[in-house]
Amino acid sequence: MNSRSQILGKLSKFEKPGISSIPSEINDKTIFNVFSDPSTFVDKFTKNFQALNGEIYIVKNLEDAGNELVSIISSLDNKKCLSHTTEVINKLFSINHTLSEIFDILNVDFLDSDIFSTYEVGLTTADFLIARTGSIVLNSLTAGGRRLSVLPPIHIVLAETNQIIPSLDEIFKNDFTSIDWSYATIISGPSRTSDIEKQLVLGAHGPKRLIVILIEN
């Protein structure tokens, strides 16, 4: 018997790993210390979102959200604003007529990317807020796709506390996978880079400011 046969003979005696050696389920909880108490979600998201240089305003209702939004925009030199059309945003504009006068509404006529970059503020809603990472999940089923969340220097997200989930893993569970979208964008803080001399620069490849107006419910 040659050396090769001896080696193969010894290897064949070892127990071969079976399918049982593979975990039946792999999720965030098996890798990270993911919390599950919903009462902590707002605090966890706020802490992690702010750690990414995000700005957050927690308000009681849609009326307060409108007042906060007006206050933010009034502090800007360039008040040119563009908004998605969603049920929540339409209701917000019906409550606060000042906003309906400030914002242009995104529609199918907005096809040229250069148009988006002329606006200072892009207003969108969110599908989910991820507490563990302080991230925002948006889908692409809107006029203009993801450009409104990328090209204006300021991206403002209108969201509700019941949209906060503990981790990204939750999106792929239950009925979330039945959501009709072609792709999703996960945003973790304003655009930034440290490529040059290790100095943090915001707004390198997208919005310089990322703001969440979070409505309690």
How is 171-209 classified by DSSP, letter by letter?
GGSTTGGGS--S-EEEE-SS-EE-TTTT--EETSSS-SE
For the chain, the domains span 37-191+198-215
Q: What is the mean pLDDT of residues 167-185?
A: 71
More confident of the two residues 70 and 19: 70
DSSP secondary structure letters along 30-85: HHS-----GGGHHHHHHHHHHHTT-EEEEESSHHHHHHHHHHHHHT-S---EEE--
Task: Name the fold adopted by 37-191+198-215.
Answer: Rossmann fold (3.40.50)
Please name the amino acid found at residue 23: P
81-83 and 121-125: which strand pairing?
parallel
Residue 60 corresponds to which tokens in the numbers above? 């009681």
Among the ranges 27-41, 79-93, 140-154, 162-176, which has the highest mean pLDDT value?
79-93
pLDDT at 107: 73
The mean-pLDDT minimum among 45-49, 62-66, 145-149, 174-178 falls in 174-178
Residue 50 has pLDDT above 80, yes or no: yes
Mean pLDDT rounded to a whole number for the chain: 82
Residue among 80, 205, 83 nearest 148 (CA) = 83
Q: What percent of the chain has pLDDT over 70?
A: 74
Strand partners, 193: 201
Q: What percent of the chain has pLDDT over 90?
A: 46
Gap between the Cα atoms of 124 and 210, Å rounded: 11
Gap between the Cα atoms of 2 and 18, Å rounded: 29
More confident of the two residues 201 and 12: 12
Residue among 205, 97, 108 nearest 149 (CA) = 205
Gap between the Cα atoms of 141 and 173, Å rounded: 20
Residue 31 has pLDDT above 90, yes or no: no
Residue reference for tokens 């969340």: 149
pLDDT at 171: 79
More confident of the two residues 4 and 62: 62
Burial level of 172, CB count in 10 A (0-12/13-18/19+)?
exposed
For the chain, the straight-line distance linking the first and the last C-alpha, in angstroms and rounded, comes to 76
Confidence grade of residue 46 (pLDDT, cut at 50, 70, 90): very high
* C-alpha dist (Å) from residue 16 to 9, 19, 152, 187: 13, 10, 56, 43
Please name the amino acid found at residue 132: R
Gap between the Cα atoms of 17 and 134, Å rounded: 38
pLDDT at 156: 96
